[in-house]
Amino acid sequence: MKLLVTGGTGFIGSHLAEEGRRRGAEVTVLGLTDRPEEQANTRLLSGLGAEVLSGSITDADLCRRAVRGATHVFHLAVAMREGGKSDEFFESVNLDGTRRLLEAAAEEGVQRFVYCSTIGIYGHRAPGVTREDSPLAPGNIYERTKVSAERQVREFAAGRGLPSVILRPADVYGPRDRRLLKLFKGVSRGRFPLFGPGAGRRHMIYVDDVVSGFFQACERAEALGEAVILAGPRPCTLRELIQAVQEATGSSRYGLRLPLMPMLAVSGIVEDVSRALKVDPPIYRRRMDFFWSDSEFDTSRARRVLNWEPRVELREGIRRTLEDYRRSGLLASETQEVVSG
């Protein structure tokens, strides 16, 4: 296997590249190297023998160079949390960049193209249990471009014969995840603000389970042409997630309790003003979705076509994530917290 991972300097992508090397694959990573975590992942993967190409999928020449010789492609590069960016920016990365990569993969004769989509395309508040064929309700430009990019993947599969699989991971967490780091820090210090009652369902999935799903998508003929949800063993409420982090960190302190609806309105206004001023907003709609979301997902298709099942329960995953944060110095150890407190 010669594996290309786009977005491979990011959280999930770095784990996929690492697993590829563990399996003996020749691995090329295409990703940005601007942020400290991207630079750390670059050092890690380079040390494992992966080739790291620094750049964006908006660069057509770089895309062709990255795909050259690849037998399998995991496409994760994406514009995601850039709250102050224009719609055109998201489209240039998530649509134009994806099309460039698909074109290069089709020309190269790639054996399997696995596209990383998102459960966000179903919206953030879905009653009951969501399945692959549930109605789509993308609520922002990121989610709308993911829907359109899925359509591109299907077009290349049908028109160019590119063997493809679409995966839709739920809320991914684990070592190297900087998104939940703020939650861990806030909870451990008793300063994490809870907007609303925390009763909304979240379907977390540990990163190792996502990685196994991607590699199963490479190997299973039944997966070809499918769109598949990947989610953890069971959903939890936001309050239960916070409690799991409290138990792991040993914190019994609570942060502020604040009303949710006013902050949803404020975040929208701040994001719109920041976009007009061309600055990054301190708070934006997608960040508040963390408190607003309420969804649960059915993984029966993944079990059937991928022969896959999630194995890591929430509390075990939280424990492993905390260990990584402390080992890497991102979060103070219990001893340091006692001394500093």
* Residue 337 pLDDT exceeds 50: no
Q: What is the pTM of this model?
A: 0.90
Q: Is the domain defined by 2-175+204-235+296-312 classed in CATH 3.40.50.720?
A: yes
Helix H, strand E, coil C: the string for the chain is CEEEEECCCCHHHHHHHHHHHHCCCEEEEEECCCCHHHHHHHHHHHHCCCEEEECCCCCHHHHHHHHCCCCEEEECCCCCCCCCCCHHHHHHHHHHHHHHHHHHHHHHCCCEEEEECCHHHHCCECCCCECCCCCCCCCCHHHHHHHHHHHHHHHHHHHHCCCEEEEEECEEECCCCCCCHHHHHHHHCCCCCEECCCCCEECEEEHHHHHHHHHHHHHCHHHCCCEEEECCCCCEEHHHHHHHHHHHHCCCCCCCEECHHHHHHHHHHHHHHHHHHCCCCCCCHHHHHHHHCECCECCHHHHHHCCCCCCCCHHHHHHHHHHHHHHCCCCCCHHHHHHHC
pLDDT of residue 83: 59
Please check the confidence at residue 300 and state whether its pLDDT lies above 50: yes
Confidence check: pLDDT of 253 > 70: yes
Question: Lowest-confidence range among 133-137, 261-265, 274-278?
Answer: 261-265
Question: Given pLDDT bands bounded at 50, 70 and 90, which one contains residue 38?
Answer: very high
* Residue 28: per-residue pLDDT: 99
Give domain limits for the chain: 2-175+204-235+296-312
- pLDDT tier for residue 293 given thresholds of 50, 70 and 90: confident
Q: What is the pLDDT of residue 150?
A: 99
pLDDT tens for each residue of 2-33: 999 999 999 999 999 999 999 999 999 999 99
